[in-house]
Structure 1
Amino acid sequence: AQVRKGEKGTLIQYWKFTEEKIKRDANGKPVIGADGKKVKQTTKLDKPRAFSASVFNAEQIDGLPELKKVEPRWDRHERAEKILAASAANISHDQEDRAFYSPSTDKIHLPTKEQFPTADNYYAVALHELGHWTGHPSRLDRDLTGSFGSEKYAKEELRAEISSLMVGDELGIGHDPSNHAAYVNSWIKVLQDDPKEILRAARDAEAIKDYILSSEQKKTATVQASAKKEPPVSSVDEAAQRLAGSFKNPADAERFIAAVNKNVAQRVQHHYHDQEEELER
């Protein structure tokens, strides 16, 4: 692949927060791994380093293989729905053509799902508003006092928009910038007045994304933890009775019930499945 002659690149800045180095022993010699190669380790830099580079769009390059999109192996809409549910945000589908988050009532307002052209579009908008929702004082506590058209409003929208890009990429639902094109001029003014605002906005957007996705992870962890708890005595007894009813030998059934009752009485902290396997052995 080769950049086409005459094309102009776009200058970007990127940051390095870690550095990969050769691992060394107490004598300063490189550590050799089992594969015979030098072992490398990643260390966190005391101060991040900034770099600049010129990048080119694929349309400016000849000979580049066509991009093949890989479809997610999971249902992206199902995961997006789970994230919204796990957040426990108060969401009302009571709007005709508006979507917004109200800080005063801590409530997200959306049109009905049927009013959106695609499911991807619905979830992108819903998760964008969920981004604003994270700014509540009880969550990430951002300044949400700005009125429409103000500098504060533009800064908050910039954070929500960047987080939408991140979450949309994570879930595979994409991102539609046309929904927030009205804010572009105010963003340009904010960044012209303070170019470093984009760095602060990206930092906050990363925190928004992490907060949104963490609600899903916490919900999963809670479900898994609940599954590991010892079943109530009544549930154990009921399950034991059902299993005992399938035994051909009545004496085996009687011994089985007695063993279960003994374990419960001793408060052995095991799943009933583990108790069953132990008794079978």
Structure 2
Amino acid sequence: MARPTSPRATQPERTNLYREITDRIIAQLEAGCVPWVQPWGSGPSTAAVAMPRNAATARPYSGINVLLLWAAGIAAGYPDQRWLTFRQALSLGGCVRKGEHGTGIVYADRFTPDDERRRAGRDGDAARQVTFLKRFTVFNVAQVDGLPRDLTASLLPPREDLVLPRFRMLMEASGVTTRTGGGMAFYSPCDDVVVLPPPEAFHEPINFHRTAAHELSHATGHRSRLDRAMKGPRGGTCYAREELVAEISAAYVCASLGIVPTVRHADYIAAWLQVLREDERAIVRAASHASKSADWLLGRLALAEENSEAAGNGGKGTPIPVAARETQHLQGRAA
């Protein structure tokens, strides 16, 4: 008589989402495509640069989900950066069109292994939990019929005349000492100072602000702010990890303010590939740190704008509009 098979034995091996996501990012980098740099607004059906948001809650997605949704939106040619779950679509009176395929994104969860629980019981200390990713599916609003008009109407782009003034306000609100001069851009952790070439040294003026976003992202890692691990020789693994965080953080900051991100350090791609191949959780961890970094900077901007609005902009004309809240760092699902 055949021996009965336990349900556990018949279940397929749990998908390693860290590996799946990392392999996807590696493939993009090997093909010369940097996931946080996309051809925003390059065609009539291409979305304008922005952070992806949940259409039902208006909350911005964060961490690795930003890169996943950006890539999916560009690949499918969706003209919108708003997403929602199947149930959210139904609750809003909409219906996902037949034949449409959703986009998988993730949220972090934790569990305590049985052996760790037993060890903690023996030793009398707290059990250590293991973090893992769980997948759920979202749909772009362009895939859904019957939604309220305000959820499908085209969003107004940021006012061009406010993009650079808002970025300069962000630089000031960060409290990070910034000096201009010379021909190199860098952040000095020892002195806690950002050094930038003067704006006129850049071929395109907007590149001064993109570069500043990168260096200010490094500055968020200072021990007085987010206290990231930043020590290590240039060219080493720790250095490459921090550059990855700063690159993605700068992209999130720029996209939030209506500035199209670009690659600041394409020469680091080989180092990033090595980091990702050696650690399947590296890109998820870097994107999480990047969200926290961007949230820190954008949060200071939002406070400065609120103060400016409350003071009537010092009597100097119309107050700068309060920033859309990009400051909620969502560890779980934005739903």
- Greater alpha carbon shift after TM alignment, 141-150 vs 68-77: 68-77
| CA 69–119 in structure 1, closer or farther in 2 if over 3 Å, else same | farther
- 2:177–2:192: 8 Å Cα contact kept in structure 1? yes
| Residue type at the aligned position of 1:89 | V
- 1:80–1:123: 8 Å Cα contact kept in structure 2? yes
| Residue type at the aligned position of 1:220 | E
1:180 maps onto 2:261 in alignment: no
Structure 1 equivalent of residue 318 of structure 2: none
SS in 1 for 2:181: strand
Q: C-alpha displacement at 1:50, in angstroms?
A: 2.1
Structure 2 equivalent of residue 86 of structure 1: 173
Aligned counterpart in structure 2 of residue 189 of structure 1, from 254, 274, 280:
274
Aligned counterpart in structure 2 of residue 215 of structure 1, from 279, 300, 304:
300
| Residue type at the aligned position of 1:216 | L
- The 5 Å alignment of 1:147-162 reads 147-162=233-248
Aligned counterpart in structure 1 of residue 206 of structure 2, from 117, 120, 138:
120
Q: Quote the Cα distance in structure 2 between the aligned partners of 1:218 and 1:124.
A: 21
- Greater alpha carbon shift after TM alignment, 167-176 vs 185-194: 167-176
| CA 52–183 in structure 1, closer or farther in 2 if over 3 Å, else same | farther
Structure 1 equivalent of residue 288 of structure 2: 203
Structure 2 equivalent of residue 141 of structure 1: 227
SS in 2 for 1:142: coil
- For residues 38-86 of structure 1, give each alpha carbon's deviation from its aligned partner in whole angstroms, at most 9, with x where no partner exists: 9xxxxxx894632699xxxxxxxxxxxxxx9975324211111111111
| Residue type at the aligned position of 1:186 | A
| CA 197–46 in structure 1, closer or farther in 2 if over 3 Å, else same | closer
> How many residue pairs are counted as aligned between the two chains?
184
Q: Quote the Cα distance in structure 1 between the aligned partners of 2:167 and 2:176.
A: 13
Identity within the alignment, %:
34
Q: Quote the Cα distance in structure 1 between the aligned partners of 2:191 and 2:172.
A: 18
Structure 1 spans left out of the alignment, 5+ residues: 1-9, 23-29, 39-44, 54-67, 228-281
1:102 maps onto 2:199 in alignment: no
- 1:11–1:52: 8 Å Cα contact kept in structure 2? no
- 1:131–1:160: 8 Å Cα contact kept in structure 2? yes
More helix by share: 1
- 1:103–1:133: 8 Å Cα contact kept in structure 2? yes
Q: Quote the Cα distance in structure 1 between the aligned partners of 2:241 and 2:256.
A: 23
Structure 2 equivalent of residue 73 of structure 1: 159
CA RMSD of superposed structures (Å): 3.4
Structure 2 equivalent of residue 278 of structure 1: none
- 1:120–1:174: 8 Å Cα contact kept in structure 2? no
Q: C-alpha displacement at 1:214, in angstroms?
A: 0.6
Q: Quote the Cα distance in structure 1 between the aligned partners of 2:278 and 2:190.
A: 29
Q: C-alpha displacement at 1:19, in angstroms?
A: 5.6
TM-score (structure 2 length as normaliser): 0.49
| Residue type at the aligned position of 1:130 | L
- 1:95–1:110: 8 Å Cα contact kept in structure 2? yes
Aligned counterpart in structure 1 of residue 218 of structure 2, from 104, 129, 132:
132
- For residues 210-240 of structure 1, give each alpha carbon's deviation from its aligned partner in whole angstroms, at most 9, with x where no partner exists: 111011111123345567xxxxxxxxxxxxx
| Residue type at the aligned position of 1:49 | K
- 2:85–2:137: 8 Å Cα contact kept in structure 1? no
Q: C-alpha displacement at 1:176, in angstroms?
A: 2.1
TM-score (structure 1 length as normaliser): 0.57
| Residue type at the aligned position of 2:215 | E
Tell which structure's C-alpha radius of gyration is larger: 1
| Residue type at the aligned position of 1:86 | A
Q: Quote the Cα distance in structure 1 between the aligned partners of 2:24 and 2:244.
A: 21
